[in-house]
């Protein structure tokens, strides 16, 4: 299934990248989940369709290789 890109405002995109770095730097799993949940709420406001916490974590992992 082809994926459509998410068009985010620049400030939201920067917050996503900042949270991605914080997610990878955080050793505590509960705090990592809190960071991902914060981005889940933010992304749901700018994206149509379903988005789950696991998908946000997968995006963080995928983006880690590119950051």
- Residue 18: its pLDDT value, please? 95
- Residue 3: its pLDDT value, please? 63
Integer-rounded Cα Rg, in Å, for the chain is 12
- For residues 44 and 2, what is the distance between their CA atoms, to the nearest angstrom? 19
C-beta separation of 47 from 8 below 8 A: no
- Residue 50: its pLDDT value, please? 84
Residues of the chain with pLDDT under 70: 1-6, 48, 67
- For residues 36 and 63, what is the distance between their CA atoms, to the nearest angstrom? 13
- Residue 65: its pLDDT value, please? 78
């Amino acid at each position: 299934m082809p994926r459509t890109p998410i068009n985010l405002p620049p400030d939201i995109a920067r917050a996503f990248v900042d949270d991605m770095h914080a997610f990878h730097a955080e050793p505590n799993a509960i705090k990592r989940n809190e960071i991902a949940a914060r981005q889940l709420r933010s992304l749901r406001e700018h994206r149509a369709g379903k988005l789950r916490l696991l998908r946000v974590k997968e995006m963080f992992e995928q983006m880690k290789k590119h950051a």
